Structure 1
């Protein structure tokens, strides 16, 4: 079966709600997240902006309530050692299919650093030291209910152990093990990032025991089964695509990717740029009405595939940083056509990178005005600024 780039964009618009016409029932925050599988959460603001971009009816408070009151959405450290927000029902397959592999990598790295690098105070037995710190963090968090990293450091002195510099490089500085240790414990499913101190754009999250979200802990699933189920969820949201896209998105190796796909009912498809695959029964919707959307930096849609030419065109150099992180993007009819930014005074500005016609320009300007009103003067800046975003913010 042949599937053109245009047909893939049609499915992207409808499945990901990127400029799609609203249906009879406005989607909930949970509907939005399930449609794209996960929201990127490296920048806390991305979670809110990704949800708002897909429903004119949602508010900042709706997103906050889903995460911290209903607790139907959960922050997880998972694919490619990246922070995401996932629907609660998808957390078990994400945890077993991706987070546990990340946790093993983080544990090995931390123990290796403690063995090979100087520390203050010295750590003669890293394994015993880490086991003691883990028990201390578990106990401190149960007693406190929620705590910041700094508060846990006060309660568990071992977290303040510092790794010392060994060179005169500017990046090689004294650093405590607090952040990598807490990241490890979260990837292992022992604790979860909860509501930050400060505004909705704050990066200063607090921590809570995992039992606050999952009373019996995250349900266990065998890792091979979880990877197959995660591949199925990804193909449902992002297919038709390639095995290469799936491997990049998950961070799996080739063997894990092949094994995960082997457990699915798939059909081979021919894409405009080569062979691909899709779940059996995948439908390509008819062409939707063209629509505009302003997606934030690191939004899950532009970050969903390794091969992006079918919706990105020639705009990579202006919209990505050197590490492969995408900035805020302007979309029209399922394609990226420009970028946007929020200036320090709160103004939402955008720039088109190609001629899209007067109707598209009007629709895009309307989206920028609506976003400005919904932000209420809040300023947004990405952790990984891109060339066009830097120009627009100046």
Structure 2
């Protein structure tokens, strides 16, 4: 369907394009680092979700494929898009952090502005950098030491000022499968042994976003990144972008050669981890889930529950229940499922159990 000379993409067209970019129509043979780079990072508040996210996207993925990258400093965890923790390649840490610096500074002002009012934030950032480069610190430990210098200030606000103004990466064992405990931080420059990039224009980042999440509107780009005023950059890029409209008439931008397989392309069942970026990276998320489903998947305290896809769309949530020697994958569908889909979910769920529950002697997939 076209409007004038501009093609209209419906919900299923956008869904299949998104799944193709997200390596969810068929498992990719990319190495783990290549997949993390292609996805422009993976949201990673907890250590385990990126492992499940790569397992569901990559052929033959094993825990050690990512764990080795964390230990060798080829991937790192730090605050980036939307002011949230992301697992990214070392190259993307260096390239993306300067682009997002302004948005992170604004986010700090919005969350802790009153508690930091009147402070010389550059002095706070400088002392914070010195402290974490001397030895990795938790945010709590960093806040306590900063409060020695500014005893009248909230230690948590001081620590977050440093985290938003200085590129703090979380050091292992944080980021390793199954590891718990508080995250300790040092600077990206100290951990990686190189400076951040000098380029802060968003143009390349926008093109990378489109490769992983397009087609998309300017508002989609802003929701994903946490930045504002990206229309100017899109205007610069427009001559080399493909332009479409969605069913509501919104302009959507894309890379001309990016995959758009069409709404009839088959989509296998897939399991997504907590916090998967596919659910977080558009202003209009109808291409993957409904508003009613969103209210169930997104909790009030900021959690995004694990979900499963049927025919490319969110169809329910899942959870892993483990006791000594036994593991169960419990599926909670949002509505009736065809028998063929239940069978496919049971089969794929068994593979997820084999990956995530490892040595459990007894495993089962059951529907709640």
Q: Scaled by the length of structure 2, what TM-score is found?
A: 0.81
Deviations 1:144-203 (A, max 9, x none): 3x343455467666279465xxxxxxxxxxxx51x4434333333443212246963525
Among candidates 240, 246, 254, match of residue 271 of structure 1:
246
Q: Distance in 2 between matches of 1:114 and 1:275?
A: 39
1:127 is displaced (CA, Å) by 2.5
Other structure's SS at 2:283 match: coil
Deviations 1:220-276 (A, max 9, x none): 21x3x2x222222112211112222122222223xx221121121333312233323
1:107 is displaced (CA, Å) by 6.1
1:317 is displaced (CA, Å) by 3.2
1:110 is displaced (CA, Å) by 4.8
Among candidates 331, 335, 347, match of residue 309 of structure 2:
331
Find the counterpart in structure 2 of residue 363 from structure 1. Answer: 344
- Structure 1, gaps ≥5 residues long: 116-124, 164-175, 380-390
Q: Distance in 1 between matches of 2:208 and 2:169?
A: 23
Among candidates 27, 51, 55, match of residue 52 of structure 1:
55
> How do residues 201-216 of structure 1 correspond to structure 2 at under 5 angstroms?
201-202=179-180, 204-216=182-194
Q: Distance in 2 between matches of 1:280 and 1:344?
A: 44
Q: Distance in 1 between matches of 2:279 and 2:347?
A: 22
Find the counterpart in structure 2 of residue 39 from structure 1. Answer: 42
Q: 1:340 to 1:73 in 2, by over 3 A?
A: same
Q: 1:114 to 1:56 in 2, by over 3 A?
A: same
Among candidates 268, 290, 293, match of residue 270 of structure 2:
293
> How do residues 171-182 of structure 1 correspond to structure 2 at under 5 angstroms?
176-177=154-155, 179-182=156-159
Among candidates 240, 260, 263, match of residue 284 of structure 1:
260
Q: 1:147 to 1:17 in 2, by over 3 A?
A: same
> How do residues 96-111 of structure 1 correspond to structure 2 at under 5 angstroms?
96-106=98-108, 110=112
Q: 1:228 to 1:12 in 2, by over 3 A?
A: same
Q: 1:159 to 1:28 in 2, by over 3 A?
A: farther
Q: Distance in 2 between matches of 1:16 and 1:109?
A: 31
Q: Distance in 2 between matches of 1:60 and 1:366?
A: 20
Find the counterpart in structure 2 of residue 30 from structure 1. Answer: 33
Q: 1:201 to 1:261 in 2, by over 3 A?
A: farther
Other structure's SS at 1:331 match: strand
Q: 1:335 to 1:154 in 2, by over 3 A?
A: closer
Q: 1:113 to 1:186 in 2, by over 3 A?
A: closer
- Between 1:186-195 and 1:9-18, the stretch displaced more is 186-195
Q: 1:44 to 1:199 in 2, by over 3 A?
A: closer
Q: Distance in 1 between matches of 2:11 and 2:110?
A: 42
1:366 is displaced (CA, Å) by 1.8
Deviations 1:49-101 (A, max 9, x none): 212221241222222222231x2222231222211112233334421222343
Find the counterpart in structure 2 of residue 166 from structure 1. Answer: none
Find the counterpart in structure 1 of residue 363 from structure 2. Answer: none
> How do residues 81-100 of structure 1 correspond to structure 2 at under 5 angstroms?
81-100=83-102
Q: Distance in 2 between matches of 1:77 and 1:60?
A: 23
Does the Cα contact within 8 Å between 2:53 and 2:276 map onto a contact in 1? yes
Among candidates 206, 220, 224, match of residue 249 of structure 1:
224
Find the counterpart in structure 1 of residue 119 from structure 2. Answer: 126
Q: 1:160 to 1:330 in 2, by over 3 A?
A: farther
Q: 1:98 to 1:327 in 2, by over 3 A?
A: same
Q: How many residues align?
A: 347
Q: 1:280 to 1:200 in 2, by over 3 A?
A: same
Among candidates 150, 163, 172, match of residue 195 of structure 1:
172
Q: Distance in 2 between matches of 1:28 and 1:21?
A: 15
Q: Scaled by the length of structure 1, what TM-score is found?
A: 0.77
- Structure 2, gaps ≥5 residues long: 1-6, 361-366
What do you get for the CA RMSD once the two structures are aligned? Answer: 3.1
Find the counterpart in structure 1 of residue 4 from structure 2. Answer: none
Does the Cα contact within 8 Å between 1:249 and 1:305 map onto a contact in 2? yes
